[in-house]
Amino acid sequence: MNRNVSRHHNCFPRARVNSNRWLILLTFFLIAVLTTFRVSAEEVTPEGNLKPEQILERLQQGGLVVYIRHAATDRSHEDQHPVDLNNCETQRNLSELGRQQSKDIGAAFQRLSIPVSNVLSSPFCRCKDTASIAFGKVETNPNLYFAVALAKKDRAAQTVKLRELLTSIPDKGNRIIVSHTGNLREATGLWPKPEGVAIVLEPLGNDDYQLLGKIAPDAWNTLNP
């Protein structure tokens, strides 16, 4: 009898050991998850090292890439599926705020003497309108199509083309790209927020770049020559 009781009591320390092991493993798991979440958040937050005033000085010298997420849109009217690129009525378009933001961006480029090499835009109306209102000239590029709406294979091929635009050095002036939030995230891990924000990169060639920083849509009017 005593032998059986002793054998019964010996199982409790072993159970406590196993429980402690599980607690340790769970702790390490939670630490790993939280660390991954923190790194992921840092990857999609395009802060850079330079303030808008410092970025302006670099922009005036040329040779940079400015990725502009289309200006503010009217969220009461979403894209139809399938969308008709030739019919803006089937798409989510710029709001009045977005049109004003586009005007402010264009006026700032002129007032601050920022040289522009070329302006590339997604074929979606909200991007083309942002580009044309701001810069007056725009070249529609099919490789800037709304990435979220593409199949995985097509999205990957398009991302390669976008990285070429982001990392190749312009011949003169600054390359302007007006597209969507998901496209830049696919290509760089950066998430451009809010609508109308400009992410400024220094292309280094060889599929490489340096993030300089961002300029919010309402910050252009505060910059001085």
Query: pLDDT tens across 13-65, in order?
Result: 555 555 566 666 665 555 554 444 333 333 445 567 899 999 999 999 999 99
β-strand pairing of 174-179 with 116-121? parallel
Quote the CA–CA distance of 170 and 87 in Å, as a whole number.
32
pLDDT at 218: 97
Query: pLDDT tens across 112-162, in order?
Result: 999 999 999 999 999 999 999 999 989 999 999 887 766 777 888 999 999
215 Cβ contact list (under 8 Å, min separation 6): 52, 55, 197, 198, 200, 223
- Among residues 120, 124, 131, which one has the least CA distance to residue 170? 120
pLDDT at 42: 37
pLDDT at 44: 44
Q: Are residues 118 and 175 in contact, defined by beta-carbon separation less than 8 angstroms?
A: yes
Confidence of residue 2 (pLDDT cuts 50, 70, 90): very low
pLDDT at 37: 39
pLDDT at 39: 37
Q: Residue range 213-223: average pLDDT?
A: 97
* Percentage of the chain exceeding pLDDT 70: 78
Domain residue ranges in the chain: 2-43, 52-222
Confidence of residue 196 (pLDDT cuts 50, 70, 90): very high
Query: Which structure tokens are listed for 162?
Result: 């976008």
pLDDT at 7: 47
pLDDT at 208: 97
Quote the CA–CA distance of 95 and 11 in Å, as a whole number.
69
Confidence of residue 85 (pLDDT cuts 50, 70, 90): very high
Quote the CA–CA distance of 53 and 141 in Å, as a whole number.
30
Quote the pTM value: 0.79
Query: Which structure tokens are listed for 193?
Result: 């927020």
Asked whether residue 10 carries a pLDDT value surpassing 80, the answer given is: no
Quote the CA–CA distance of 35 and 171 in Å, as a whole number.
41
Q: How many Cα atoms occupy the beta-carbon half-sphere of 71 within 13 Å?
A: 23
- Coil/strand/helix, residue 13: helix
Place of tokens 């011949």: 171
Alpha helices in the chain (DSSP H): 2-9, 11-43, 52-61, 96-111, 125-135, 152-167, 181-188
Query: Within the chain, what is the greatest distance between any pair of CA atoms?
Result: 96
Query: Which structure tokens are listed for 186?
Result: 């696919």
β-strand pairing of 198-205 with 65-69? antiparallel
Quote the CA–CA distance of 26 and 93 in Å, as a whole number.
47
Residue bearing the bigger pLDDT, 144 or 81: 144
Query: Which structure tokens are listed for 179?
Result: 């597209």
Query: Which structure tokens are listed for 223?
Result: 């910059």
Residue bearing the bigger pLDDT, 35 or 215: 215
pLDDT at 13: 54
Rounded to the nearest integer, the mean pLDDT of the chain is: 86
> Which CATH code for domain 52-222?
3.40.50.1240
